A and B are shown apart, each in its own frame.
Chain A
Amino acid sequence: MPTRKGGPRQPRERVARPDTATPPPRRASTQAAADVAQAKPAQRNQLFPAGASLYPLDTETQSPEDWYGRDPGEDLDELAKARCALVRVFVSWRVIEPQVGQYAEEAIERLAGIIEAARSRKIQTVVCFFADDRHSELTDVTWGKRRDPRNDSYLVQREAALIQKVVGRLRKEAGVFAWQLGNEAFIAGFTSSDELETWVATMREAIREVDPTRPIGLGADAETLFRSNGVDARNALESCEFAVSHVTAAYRAYAAEGPLTSGPSTYLDSFLLRHAHRGRPVLLDDVGTLALDMSAGEEASYLRSVLWGGFINRAGGALVRRLRDMDTERREPYFIDPFETLVGLMDAEGVAKPAYTELNKFVRTVARIDLKAHTLLAERTAVLVPSERYEPLPNLAGLYDPRSCLHAFIATKNAHVPVAVIGEDDGFEEFQVLVVPSVFALADKTWERLGTFVQSGGTLLLSYGGGDAHPASRDLFGVEFLGDGGPREELSCRVAQPDVLGALESFDARFEVPNFALLSGGTATIVATDAQGSPLLTVNQVGQGRAVYIAVPLERAIAQGDPWATPAPIRHLIREVYGAVARAAGCGAPVECSAAEVEVALFQGEADDVVVLLNHSDAKEEAVLTLERRVASISDVRGGTPVAVGSNTFTVGLEPNGASALRLTYA
């Protein structure tokens, strides 16, 4: 799996903020940019392959034995036409090993033929073993006698043998890009982490005996899988060369139930993508809507948001859910897909939907962004997902925390601050700001590490999550915790110290909060209070760093309320605080943007920079961008005449859920 230059976990140098008064002469003239533009346009981005899954069956009426029965040439042509560089195919154990130990060579050749056909169209293939799409019954060997292929030792042995047989045949095929073990539907059947790890180790070993080099990935997103069956796949994923990230229907219902083209929904894929980064490339997979009840327009808008969101949040590539819609029994108004494999880029007859055009447009646009020459600005702010998230019930942290973290992520994005998502046990050294949203409890060791982090110059932003305060928090935040004031139906804010944490405004808003930490003064500066003077926001200078405390579980309250209708003053408060904290720590928004819902990513190059804008709103936006340096000209990355700017500020109009990639040159 190719990775992006300067991937998420590579050691980074601290980026010095350029002096606004005397901009460094780093950038070359507009001539250099013009040279770049004049080079032969790239058709695909080699460092960001995109494509789709090719499912074995087209209609519900086909039988599992019809596995890839239709010539895939037509579909591959469509993918090639869209400049796709990647396709995923699914191995049918049932078809390839119809009798124990007897392999259908013809079926293996059929698979090899698909891979070759893809390669001839410049498309690389991810070969997926042991997926479950509930139509083709890929893992349902008739001789398996209903034993579980995940833990039955005999079947596991047969699976390893199948892998060796297939990989042995295909390893010399140049078109094979990577091997994938299972998909989430299959992996969700594991009942423990140990069982999963053992299975993955066995299958990996089987592959490695035959193919020692090609990347191997596990087809589950650790977060969505844990949510679905409580199995922690993180260790199993550690052993693989790449990870995948995707939103399942169940996870969406849990984390962001609501319209797909606005609000939290549009951030969920990139949140999970960031969450899945654990030092290895992440393939954003199963991109697309989950059910056929979305209009063609919503499908396209959503796909656009997710693809661009993936691109600017360090995905290693993207695979759309499927190419063609599954032809299902027509039921009005639409068929709700319980198996998540129905919706494609083209309809069942093979007519391209607007989503297909979106993919095409996306691939062609990102092809013009050279990721060797342009590097995404490093993230120095991280949202910390606490380890309590993995605690089983009756601990409620596992239910509340991911939602709180998602909303912290969104708030950071709304403040246009580059942000990563890390676990409590991950290293803090890469970051300048840590956001710990609405947490119930952190480990004692973590408090020690946070203390060290702040002492040595980091900024900690923590919001109260209810319950007792940890003893370490007193010194860190410089306040005395007097207890939990309990739930409130209204949140009031009175600004005591203007401009300490951004442009805060006093307000009274109808907004339920589950807890309110009652604090008394200490060494901390009280920045804002409630209507009665009880501290709401405090800042404490500790060593070389700062510790900022929010006395309510703000992120959790947003998540548990109606995240599509959070009162404007609350949205303003959280955005201002997050933005101001990052700004003061020297890692604020690299590009200021007037529209909160427009996500901004800056790819820095030598001769020029590329700024990508993604509108998360389903309304048109006029984004006023302000940079520290004077921009000489802007142009669409796809080409066109550069428009002279001659100022630090310019405006970009964005369509609903629109994306724009602009090349900037500096004066």
Chain B
Amino acid sequence: MTDDRPARLYQAFVSQDPAQAIAVIEKARSAGIAQGQLFDQLFAPAMSLLGGAWADGAIDEYTFTQAAVVAEQITSFVTPPTTAQDTGVTVLLGTMHRDHHAIDKDITAAALKEAGHRVIDLGVDVRPAEFLERADETGARIVIVYAQLIGTAHSVSRVREMFHAGGRDDLVLFVAGGPFSADISLAKQVGANGVVRGAESALKLVAKITAGRGGGT
């Protein structure tokens, strides 16, 4: 059976009927087409029909432009979500006490947010106790501590000690920064569960932990 939905959407465009266009999309959605597929399966074929109609003169320039305006109006219905859906995972991150390097952390925080995680950025020069306090407060189970200096990298062990003293051995502690990337054993030494080597690495590690625990905070 041929799918006539693109043709109906096209028809809504040239009829300059956004309500009808939305109705076609909603029908397609309720028929089981996922949000991420609507663009490819419905919108793009309809736009191709529109281009074809303009090319062979079935519609004039004015109609073409007006149809494009309608297409614009309903684009948000067919576009895949720009930000991923809330994963429900809370990630706490901050730069170690006496360390003021922020760029790496800020970029990663933004990437994690973009991926749908709940990100709590404690900023720079964060005392070890604060990581524990905020983890308790937010229910976060993943903590990323940044340190770019050797001295501050070593002192991340105090964060792990603090977690232990607070009875929070369940917290996953990731570390990030030049000293850890250079020397993986340092991460083990400070009691970290892994090393974040940039934004993409953070995304992968968090995804792995989440998958392992079946999601949630």
Contacts and interface: CB of A to CB of B under 8 A. Distances in A.
Interface of A: 295-301, 332-333, 346-347, 349, 351-354, 357
Consensus secondary structure, chain B interface: helix
25 contacts: A295-B178, A295-B181, A295-B182, A296-B148, A296-B150, A296-B153, A296-B178, A296-B182, A296-B183, A297-B178, A297-B181, A297-B182, A300-B182, A346-B150, A347-B149, A347-B151, A351-B150, A351-B151, A351-B154, A353-B179, A353-B182, A354-B179, A354-B182, A354-B186, A357-B183
Interface in B174-200: 178-179, 181-183, 186
B100 interface: yes
B100 A332 contact: yes
Contacts of B181: 295-297
Given A295-B148, A297-B178, A357-B183, 5 more contacts: A295-B178, A296-B148, A333-B101, A351-B151, A353-B182
B198 to A, nearest CB: 12
A300 B151 contact: no
Given A296-B178, A297-B178, A332-B100, A354 B183 contact: yes
Q: Which of A298, A300, A351 has the most CB of B within 10 A?
A: A351
Contacts of A297: 178-179, 181-182
Contacts of A295: 148, 178, 181-182
A297 B153 CA distance: 13
Nearest to A299: B182
Interface in B138-186: 148-151, 153-154, 178-179, 181-183, 186
A300 B100 contact: no
Given A296-B179, A332-B100, A354-B182, A349 B148 contact: no
Contacts of B100: 332
A357 B101 CA distance: 24
B150 A352 contact: yes
Q: Which are the 7 A-B pairs with shortest beta-carbon distances?
A: A295-B178, A297-B182, A354-B182, A354-B183, A296-B178, A296-B179, A347-B150
Given A295-B148, A295-B178, A332-B100, A300 B183 contact: yes
A355 to B, nearest CB: 8
A143 to B, nearest CB: 41
A361 to B, nearest CB: 11
A75 to B, nearest CB: 16
A332 B125 CA distance: 14
Contacts of A299: 182
Contacts of B179: 296-297, 353-354
Contacts of B101: 333
Contacts of A347: 149-151
Q: Which of B100, B149, B151, B183 has the most CB of A within 10 A?
A: B183
Contact of A349 (B151, B178, B182, B183): B151
A353 B148 contact: no
A332 B101 CA distance: 9
Q: Which of B101, B179, B186 has the most CB of A within 10 A?
A: B179
A301 B151 CA distance: 19
Nearest to A353: B150
Nearest to A301: B182
Contacts of A301: 182
A95 to B, nearest CB: 30
B30 to A, nearest CB: 49
A353 B151 CA distance: 9
Contacts of B154: 351
A300 B100 CA distance: 22
A347 B147 CA distance: 14
A347 B150 CA distance: 7
Contacts of A349: 151
A54 to B, nearest CB: 19
A300 B183 CA distance: 9
Contacts of B151: 347, 349, 351
B8 to A, nearest CB: 50
Q: Which of B101, B178, B181, B186 has the most CB of A within 10 A?
A: B178
A351 B147 CA distance: 14
B110 to A, nearest CB: 20
Nearest to A347: B150
Contacts of A354: 179, 182-183, 186
